[in-house]
Structure 1
Amino acid sequence: MNKKFCKVVAMFVVTATLATGCRSTEEYKKIAEAGNKYAEAVDQLLIAAGDIRIEASSEKFLRNDRVTNLNVADYNKVSQVDDRRIEILGKIRKHNHLLQAYFAKLFELADSQAPQQASTEIEGITSNLNKIGKELQGSDLITDPSVFAGVTNVIVGSQLRGALREELEKRNKTIVLELTIQKELLQALSQSIEQDMALIKIAQEERLVIRPLIQEELISDNKEWIEFRKDVLTMQRRSNELKEASEALEEFKNVFQNFIEGKLTIQRVNGFLREIDSFLAIVEASKTTSN
Structure 2
Amino acid sequence: MITLNLNNGVELPALGFGVFQTPPEETVRAVEVALQTGYRHIDTAAAYGNEREVGEGIRRSGTPRDEVFIETKVWVSDYGYDETLHAFDKAIGKLGVEQLDLLILHQPATDRFEKTIAAYRALETLLADGRVRAIGVSNFMPHHLERLLAETSVVPAVNQIELHPYFTQPAVQQADAEHGILTQAWSPIGGITFYPGFGDERRSVMDEPVLTEIAAAHGKSAAQAMLRWHLQEGRSAIPKSTNPARIAENLDVFDFELSADELARIDGLDTGVRSGPDPDTPRPERFAMVISEP
TM-score range, shorter chain: under 0.3
Q: Scaled by the length of structure 2, what TM-score is found? A: 0.25
Q: Which has the larger radius of gyration?
A: 1
Q: Which has the higher contact order (CA 8 A, sep 6+)?
A: 1
Larger strand fraction of residues: 2
Q: Scaled by the length of structure 1, what TM-score is found? A: 0.25
Larger helix fraction of residues: 1
